């Protein structure tokens, strides 16, 4: 295996996966592993020399019902990858997050009996909902790389090979994190109070959740005119979409909103904006973990298609939706889900976090969980993958 160049297939579906993928590619190189990488990646991975057959956005579909509209094109992408790897197999396929697509791709690889090892990097939330998926994972995945220690324990119960590799952000982001420095990094006034609004990074999320955060911002601005708002735009398409939404609001609100452009291939503007904010209001997802590791007070929200939500409610096995609450095993941050996700309730929760004592209690809990994630005995993902190939 060491005498020839390794061929590694990777598929990611959104910015957080692109960040993990780029870090993984760099880790292989730093460890002197001669490898080439192909599949579906974002700008950060492409910057590292990754060969992407399709644009990453093609997989950026949210919800169960919503996916049905794009099912034909998603199947075509899956079949295209399987066809390419049937003709010239990679040594290992690594699906990073995007479990609905990547687990189906791994299944197709196994059904075709291709000589390809399969890895799922970032465990699907089988411990939370649709636990029956664990049987499919066991049949089609050779190794699961888990970000959290409780995930490895879950897979051990089902005899699924898993390694706890830790979350790279836990070690990347410092425990001592200056809010003033973060504001200066974005050329913001360090004395100004800012509220970060993050309705999500996908087109569908901004469509559904953008009006919610802007309506809430309008209510907050009317009551607390000294606060200003930060909204990140990860690319030009999302920027134009957000600008079109903002255009419908009064000038009094527009003057308080700073739409922050992404200026690096790392697509880290979302993290920079959260870091520079006194309070964060964000869509539930992986960004809640980032906000937690930045130690900023936050409230999270989400709204799905009503039918998707009904289905999810039947399948969910846990009490909480956001990672900070799941990791803590208790309510640390407020979750406004579905009918609770209203501008009035969101504005109210933002107002509660303006209280120094309330926000400080939350920040201390974030610090505790950050330390918890750092203390685990994690393995190196590159070595775990190489061990599988042996």
Distance (Å, whole) CA 378 – CA 385:
14
Average pLDDT value for residue range 28-49 = 96
Residue 308 predicted with pLDDT over 50: yes
Burial (CB < 10 A; 0-12, 13-18, 19+), residue 173, is: middle
CB 292 within 8 A of CB 210: no
| The two structure tokens encoding residue 218 | 């309008």
Q: Quick check: 3 pLDDT over 70?
A: no
How many residues does this entry show for the chain? 390
**What residues are paired with 257 via a beta bridge?**
229
Encoding tokens for residue 222? 């009317």
pLDDT in tens, 266-282: 668 999 999 999 999 99
Note whether 271 and 252 are within 8 A (CB): no
Identify the pLDDT of residue 2: 52
Average pLDDT score over residue span 87-104: 94
Q: Are 265 and 167 in contact (CB under 8 A)?
A: no
- Whole-Å CA distances, 114 to 104, 125, 140: 14, 27, 12
High-pLDDT (> 90) share of the chain, %: 69
Q: Give the C-alpha separation, 336 to 316, whole Å.
A: 16
Model confidence over 121-147: pLDDT tens digits?
999 888 766 677 899 999 999 999 998
Assess whether pLDDT exceeds 80 at residue 110: yes
* Cα 333 from Cα 365, distance rounded (Å): 10
Residue pLDDT, tens place only, 176-223: 999 999 999 999 999 999 999 999 888 889 999 999 999 999 999 999
What backbone torsions phi and psi does residue 194 show, to the nearest 5 degrees? -125, 145
**Domains detected in the chain:** 6-168+376-389 (3.40.50.2000), 172-374 (3.40.50.2000)
For the record, the structure tokens of 14 come out as: 């959104």
pLDDT tens per residue across span 140-168: 999 999 988 889 988 999 999 999 998 88
**Buried b / exposed e across 71-85, counting CB within 10 Å, b at 16+?**
eeebeebbeebbeeb
Nearest-angstrom CA–CA distance, 212 and 101: 29
Quick one: what percent of the chain has pLDDT higher than 70? Answer: 92
Q: Alpha-carbon torsion 155, 309, 13, 328, what sign? A: negative
**Mean pLDDT of the residues in the chain:** 90
- What does the pLDDT average to over 81-95? 97
Say yes or no to pLDDT of 65 above 60: no
């Amino acid at each position: 295996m060491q005498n020839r160049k390794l061929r590694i297939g990777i598929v990611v579906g959104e910015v957080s996966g692109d960040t993990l993928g780029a870090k993984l590619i760099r880790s292989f190189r730093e460890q002197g592993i001669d490898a080439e990488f192909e599949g579906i990646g974002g700008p950060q991975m492409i910057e590292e020399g990754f060969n992407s057959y399709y644009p990453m956005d093609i997989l950026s579909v949210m919800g169960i019902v919503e996916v049905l509209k794009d099912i034909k094109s998603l199947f075509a992408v899956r079949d295209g990858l399987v066809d390419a790897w049937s003709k010239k197999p990679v040594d290992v396929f690594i699906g990073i997050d995007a479990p609905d697509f990547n687990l189906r791709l791994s299944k197709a690889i196994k059904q075709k009996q291709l000589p390809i090892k399969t890895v799922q990097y970032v465990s699907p939330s089988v411990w939370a909902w649709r636990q029956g998926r664990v049987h499919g994972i066991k049949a089609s995945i050779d190794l699961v790389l888990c970000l959290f220690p409780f995930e490895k324990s879950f897979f051990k119960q089902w005899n699924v090979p898993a390694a706890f590799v830790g979350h790279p952000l836990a070690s990347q982001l410092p425990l001592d994190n200056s809010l003033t420095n973060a504001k200066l990094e974005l050329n913001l006034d360090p004395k100004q109070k800012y509220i970060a609004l993050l309705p999500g990074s996908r087109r569908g999320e901004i469509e559904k959740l953008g009006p919610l955060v802007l309506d809430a911002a309008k209510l907050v601005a009317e009551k607390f005119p000294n606060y200003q708002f930060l909204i990140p735009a990860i690319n030009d398409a999302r920027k134009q979409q957000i600008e079109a939404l903002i255009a419908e609001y009064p000038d009094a609100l527009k003057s308080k909103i700073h739409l922050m452009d992404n200026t690096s291939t790392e697509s880290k503007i979302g993290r920079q904006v959260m870091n520079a904010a006194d309070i964060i209001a964000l869509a539930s997802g992986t960004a809640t973990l980032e906000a937690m590791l930045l130690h900023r007070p936050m409230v999270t929200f989400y709204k799905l298609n009503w039918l998707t939500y009904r289905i999810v409610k039947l399948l969910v096995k846990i009490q909480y939706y956001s990672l900070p609450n799941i990791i803590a095993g208790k309510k640390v941050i407020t979750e406004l889900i579905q009918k609770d996700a209203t501008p009035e309730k969101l504005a109210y929760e933002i107002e509660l976090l303006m209280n120094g004592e309330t926000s400080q209690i939350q920040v201390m809990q974030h610090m505790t969980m950050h330390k918890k994630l750092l203390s685990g005995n994690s393995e190196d993902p590159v070595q775990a993958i190489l061990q599988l190939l042996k």
